[in-house]
């Protein structure tokens, strides 16, 4: 049961990372903001200012 | 005593895995007469991957790279909560796999199935274990040891400035060709298909809705909105059948290839210049959601249903006369299947986001080597999906009209004369079953994969009544993430060109300056749009010339990555083990340079660009002929340019190796100095 719960937790964490939910949570923590349309807009502004290309393969 | 027993048991298990793998591979290789069950491929693949991961990756980690659990990674040393972040290894694995797995491992193996199931399967297994996984793993570790530097930066530092510049140019060239060829795959899958076109068109308003929902209603709830988007996409697939049957609405979504090409070009330009959050990001989330789910479903389905393969092990087209693309097994099977065996593009991801998330060096084999194995497994699934079809049906779908004839009767007669019986009635009935008007001349691999997938799943889940839904689900799944790569790839290429142009005129380098955004987006879209248009207008279907061009470009990038890796290994004084990257490098040089030679100079007009240009010039001159001649000469020039660029990297690398081995060059690697990990202290 513990193994299953751990596996589910890992899958959820992976999905949250892939889908940028964790990145948004980290942004909120780092910038001392609570989730709101303005905070989400700021999160995307920061992401768009990053020059590192997030390439996806063919 | 207990330790000894455990060792013996472990040894027995691995001997059993080796025996199972050898038997399954032998059955695949030797079997000729009766159709073979897909389970043999699955067992062979599973055993090869298990052995490769357990022994080969461990050997590389221990003997060559000296992977060090005590060395702090950039994720730990430079942690900023943004790019650099200590992350759970399974999370990094999922993240890395989601980034490397695209349409390549699905399309390439389907196209290469024209040789039979054997060449593709053997190349996917051997290529992944000995080349692709190795490349991804070593580049990932070398990037981790250099603060997450990119391949182009490592090439510049370790092999010289030519290496860095060439790698940069090669990446842009590959991106342009890649975007053109995958756009062509979508065009060929959606042309004259109101159901498919409607479904894909609906993903645009769905993505916009998701974007607004994320921004205004539930900020940051991506998983929640992805589920909502997925439900809406399923409804769009369901609704597509009514659209395709409605005499008034169906013509609105029945588009010719040229109309689809123009629409895709306009869409990609728009997606590149509008804010990311509005269209690009939600589509990316949606396509990733569908991709991961479908790959998981496919994996379970293949094992549970283990269908029978009808394609022979080897077909008559090993002689190079294949209708899907012209050229012999060597070298063309090895450039047709890149993703799934070895893909140079992966080295960009292994030296991109992933190295900045790795918590410990000891996790790099699992992420680098392991994720590539998972992608290779996807390629095996694609081979199975293509080969479950009757060969006649496979060739009817994948052969261009210019080869088999313009009418259904002519096509079936030509294909049957090759020894692969198929009738016009069979094809009509299959087209009807999947909700299409016709399945002839649907080159590009995606429709054949979709028919194969629908064929497998409809046998047990819902029967033939839902075959059309499965088919359109598969088409949507492929088209959706191809379009996502199109808009994301256009944006990445735009950034790279802005970077380069910024050295000439500073404002052009500013990613927020709108004139620069519009100019560089137009430049990128025009470049790949040109090749797409060329493919759409090609009487041989476009895939025949563009897919090999893409394969050559992608494998040439792998050569650059392996040159960098070999140089570093030699500088690390591990020359006795340099064969680990040198052998795949030599193999890829042989494959890509031979393929390039054939594509440029082969006297057969179906293979050689220049021969085709000459053949066209000798025929009747029209406006279209002049354009085709120009296109073929341009393709020859692009191929030559790529080969010259990579030759420069090879020469520069070889000079480094010889210099280091003779002791006349500095053997200093440009690694970040060793710092003891704090994670180890915390643990102890």
Superfamily (CATH H level) for B2-192+255-662: Amino acid/polyamine transporter I (1.20.1740.10)
pLDDT of residue A46: 86
Residue B212 has pLDDT above 50, yes or no: yes
**Which chain A residues are within 8 Å of B554, Cβ to Cβ?**
58
Asked whether the beta carbons of residue A58 and residue B178 sit closer than 8 angstroms, the reply is yes
Confidence of residue B57 (pLDDT cuts 50, 70, 90): very high
List of chain B residues whose C-beta atoms are within 8 Å of the C-beta of residue A39: 219
B339 → closest Cβ in A50, A51, A58? A58
Q: How far apart, in Å, are the Cα atoms of B351 and each of B87, B177, B345, B356, B572?
A: 16, 21, 10, 9, 19
- B222-232 mean pLDDT: 93
Residue of A nearest to B174 (CA): A58
Residue B310, class by beta-carbon neighbours within 10 Å (0-12 exposed, 13-18 middle, 19+ buried)?
middle
Which chain A residue has its CA at the smallest distance from B215's CA?
A37
Assigned domain for A55 exists: no
B102/A57 touch (CB, cutoff 8 Å), yes or no: yes
Cα separation, B363 vs B90, in Å, equals 9
DSSP state of B36: E
- Domain of A33, in residue numbers: 2-49
- Residue A51 to residue B275, Cβ atoms within 8 A: no
CB contact under 8 A, A44 and B276: yes
pLDDT of residue A52: 57
Which positions in chain B touch A18 (Cβ < 8 Å)?
94-95, 98, 288, 292
Element (DSSP H or E) covering residue B39: helix B38-51
pTM summary value: 0.92
Q: Is residue A35 in a domain? A: yes
- Look at B81 and A27 and tell me if their CB atoms are within 8 Å: yes
Please report the pLDDT score of residue B2 as a whole number. 66
Torsion of CA B459, B462, B464, B466, to 10 degrees: -130
Q: Say whether A53 and B484 touch across the interface (CB within 8 A).
A: no
pLDDT of res. B543: 85
| Contacts of residue B213, Cβ cutoff 8 Å, sequence gap at least 6 | B225, B228
Bond preceding residue B331 cis, omega within 30 of 0 = yes
* Interface contact flag, B91 A48, Cβ < 8 Å: no
A45 touches chain B (CB under 8 A): no
Q: Where do the domains of chain B lie?
A: 2-192+255-662
Which positions in chain A touch B352 (Cβ < 8 Å)? 52-55
- pLDDT over 90 (residue B283): no
Helix %, strand %, coil % of chain A (to 5): 70, 0, 30
pLDDT tens per residue, range B87-121? 999 989 988 998 898 888 999 999 999 999 999 99
pLDDT higher than threshold 90 for residue B20? yes
d(C-alpha B474, C-alpha B204), whole Å = 18
Q: pLDDT higher for A3 or B66?
A: B66
Query: Does A51 score more than 80 pLDDT?
Result: no
Residue B684 confidence class, pLDDT cut points 50, 70, 90:
very low
For residue A29, give the H/E element and its range.
helix A21-30
Greater pLDDT, B664 or B562 = B562
Q: Are residues B339 and A24, on separate chains, in Cβ contact within 8 Å?
A: no
Cα–Cα dist B116/B387, whole Å: 8
Whether the CB-CB separation of B419 and B425 falls below 8 Å is answered with no
Q: Maximum CA pair distance of chain B?
A: 84
Higher pLDDT: B86 or B103? It is: B86
Chain B interface includes A47 (CB < 8 A):
yes
Question: What confidence tens digit (pLDDT) does each residue in B627-661 have?
Answer: 889 989 999 999 999 999 999 999 999 999 999 99
The strand ranges marked E within B286-325 are: 308-309
CA angle B415, B419, B423 (to 5 degrees): 45
Nearest CA in chain A to B287: A19
pLDDT value for B366: 97
For residue B681, pLDDT over 70 is answered with no
Q: What secondary structure, in 3-state letters, does B532-574 show?
A: HHHHHHCCCCCHHHHHHHHHHHHHHHHHHHHHHHHHHHHHCCC
Q: What is the pLDDT of residues B463-483, one digit of tens each?
A: 677 899 999 999 998 888 788
Q: Is residue A43 part of a domain?
A: yes
Which has the minimum average pLDDT: A45-49, B64-68, B672-676? A45-49
ipTM score for this prediction: 0.89
Q: Where are the beta strands (DSSP E) in B360-468?
A: none
> pLDDT tens digits for B513-561?
889 989 999 999 999 999 999 999 888 778 888 889 999 989 998 999 9
Cα(B389)–Cα(B532) distance, integer angstroms? 28
On average, the pLDDT of chain A sits at 86
The DSSP annotation for B169-192 comes to HHHHHHHHHHHHHHHHHHHHHHTT
Q: How far apart are CA B583 and CA B107, in angstroms?
A: 26
The pair phi, psi for residue B621, each rounded to 5°, is: -90, 120
3-state percent helix, strand, coil for chain B, nearest multiple of 5:
75, 0, 25
> Span B331-340, mean pLDDT?
95
Which chain A residue's Cα is nearest to B550?
A58
State the average pLDDT over residues B318-339: 95
Q: Which of A17, A24, A29 is opposite residue B220, by nearest beta carbon? A: A24
CA separation for the pair B300, B453 (Å, rounded) = 12
Whether A56 is in a domain gets the answer no
**Contact assignment for B221 to A30 by CB distance below 8 Å:** no
Q: Residue B31's CB: how many other CB atoms inside 10 A?
A: 17
Q: Does the distance separating the beta carbons of A37 and B216 come in below 8 Å?
A: yes
Q: Give domain status of residue A11, yes or no.
A: yes
Provide the domain count of chain A: 1
CA distance to partner chain A, nearest, from residue B528 (Å): 15
- pLDDT tier at B680 (50, 70, 90 boundaries)? low
Residues of A in contact with B94 (CB under 8 A): 14-15, 17-18
Give buried/exposed letters for B424-454 (b at 16+ CB in 10 A, else e). Answer: beebeebbebbbbebbbbbbbbbbbbbbbbb
Scored b (16 or more CB within 10 A) or e, B193-219 reads bbbbbbbbbbbeebbebbbebbbeeeb
Would you say how long chain B is, in residues?
A: 684
Residue A30 maps to a domain: yes
Q: Quick check: helix, strand or coil at residue B37?
A: strand
Residues 6+ apart with CB under 8 A from B71: B145, B361, B674, B675, B676, B677
Phi, psi at B221, each rounded to 5°: -85, 70
Q: How many percent of chain B have pLDDT more than 90? A: 69
CB A56 to CB B91 under 8 A? Answer: no
Cβ–Cβ contact A14 with B under 8 A? yes
| Strand duo B36-37 + B308-309: pairing | antiparallel
Other CB atoms within a 10 A radius of the CB of residue B266 amount to 12
pLDDT in tens, B395-435: 999 999 989 999 999 999 999 999 999 999 999 999 999 99
Q: Which of A14, A26, A57 sits opposite B343 (nearest CB)?
A: A57
Strands (E), B613-666: none
């Amino acid at each position: 049961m513990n193994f299953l719960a751990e596996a589910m937790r890992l899958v959820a964490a992976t999905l949250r990372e892939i889908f940028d939910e964790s990145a948004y949570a980290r942004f909120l923590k780092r910038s001392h903001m609570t989730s709101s349309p303005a905070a989400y807009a700021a999160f995307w502004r920061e992401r768009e200012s990053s020059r590192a290309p997030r390439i996806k393969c063919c | 005593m207990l330790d000894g027993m455990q060792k013996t048991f472990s040894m027995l298990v691995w001997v059993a895995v080796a025996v199972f793998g050898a038997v399954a591979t032998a059955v695949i290789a030797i079997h000729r007469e009766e159709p073979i069950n897909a389970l043999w491929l699955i067992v062979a693949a599973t055993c090869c991957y298990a052995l490769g991961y357990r022994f080969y990756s461990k050997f590389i980690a221990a003997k060559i790279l000296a992977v060090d659990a005590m060395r702090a990674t950039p994720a730990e040393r430079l942690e900023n909560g943004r790019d650099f972040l200590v992350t759970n290894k399974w999370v990094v694995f999922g993240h890395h796999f989601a980034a490397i797995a695209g349409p390549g491992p699905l399309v390439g193996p389907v196209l290469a199935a024209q040789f039979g199931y054997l060449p593709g399967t053997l190349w996917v297994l051997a290529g992944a274990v000995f080349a692709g996984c190795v490349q991804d793993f070593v580049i990932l570790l070398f990037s981790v040891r250099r603060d997450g530097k990119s391949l182009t930066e490592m090439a510049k530092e370790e092999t010289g400035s030519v290496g860095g510049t060439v790698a940069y140019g090669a990446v842009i060239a590959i991106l342009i060709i890649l975007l053109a060829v995958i756009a062509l795959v979508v065009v060929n899958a959606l042309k004259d298909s109101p159901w498919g076109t409607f479904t894909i068109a609906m993903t645009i308003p769905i993505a916009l809705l998701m974007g607004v929902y994320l921004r205004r209603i539930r900020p940051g709830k991506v998983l929640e909105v992805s589920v909502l988007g997925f439900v809406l996409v399923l409804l769009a697939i369901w609704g597509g059948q009514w659209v395709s049957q409605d005499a008034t609405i169906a013509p609105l979504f029945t588009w010719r290839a040229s109309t689809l090409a123009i629409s895709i070009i306009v869409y990609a330009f728009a997606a590149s210049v509008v804010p990311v959050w509005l269209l690009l990001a939600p589509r990316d989330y949606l396509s990733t959601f569908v991709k991961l789910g479908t790959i998981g479903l496919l994996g379970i389905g293949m094992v549970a249903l283990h269908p029978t393969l009808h394609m022979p092990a080897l077909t008559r087209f090993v002689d190079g006369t294949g209708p899907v693309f012209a050229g012999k097994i060597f070298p063309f099977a090895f450039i047709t299947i890149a993703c799934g065996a070895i893909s140079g593009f992966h080295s960009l991801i292994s030296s991109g986001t992933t190295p900045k998330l790795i918590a410990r060096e000891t996790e790099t084999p699992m992420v680098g080597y392991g994720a590539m194995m998972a992608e290779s497994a996807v390629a095996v699934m694609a081979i199975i999906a293509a080969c479950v079809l009757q060969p006649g049906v496979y060739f009817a779908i994948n052969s261009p009209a210019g080869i088999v004839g313009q009418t259904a009767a002519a096509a079936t007669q030509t294909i049957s004369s090759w020894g692969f019986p198929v009738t016009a009635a069979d094809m009509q009935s299959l087209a009807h079953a999947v909700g299409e008007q016709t399945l002839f001349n649907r080159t590009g691999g995606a429709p054949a994969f979709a028919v194969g997938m629908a064929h497998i799943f409809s046998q047990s889940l819902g029967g033939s009544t839902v075959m059309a839904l499965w088919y359109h689900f598969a088409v949507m799944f492929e088209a959706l993430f191809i379009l996502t790569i199109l808009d994301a790839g256009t944006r990445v290429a735009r950034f790279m060109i802005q970077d380069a142009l910024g050295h000439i005129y500073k404002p052009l380098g500013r990613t927020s300056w709108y004139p620069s955004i519009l100019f560089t987006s137009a430049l990128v879209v025009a470049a790949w749009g040109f090749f797409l248009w060329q493919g759409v207008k090609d009487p041989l279907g476009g895939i025949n010339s563009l897919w090999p061009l893409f394969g050559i470009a992608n494998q040439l990038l792998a050569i650059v990555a392996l040159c960098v890796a070999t140089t570093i290994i030699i500088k690390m004084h591990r020359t006795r083990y340099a064969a680990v990257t040198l052998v795949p490098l030599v193999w890829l040089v042989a494959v890509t340079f031979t393929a390039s030679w054939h594509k440029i100079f082969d006297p057969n007009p179906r293979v050689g660009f220049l021969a085709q240009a000459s053949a066209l010039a000798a025929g009747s001159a029209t406006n279209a002929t002049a354009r085709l001649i120009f296109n073929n000469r341009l393709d020859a020039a692009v191929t030559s340019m790529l080969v010259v660029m990579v030759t420069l990297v090879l020469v520069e690398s070889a000079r480094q190796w010889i210099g280091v081995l003779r002791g006349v060059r500095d053997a200093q690697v440009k690694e970040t100095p060793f710092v003891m990990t704090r994670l180890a202290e915390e643990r102890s």
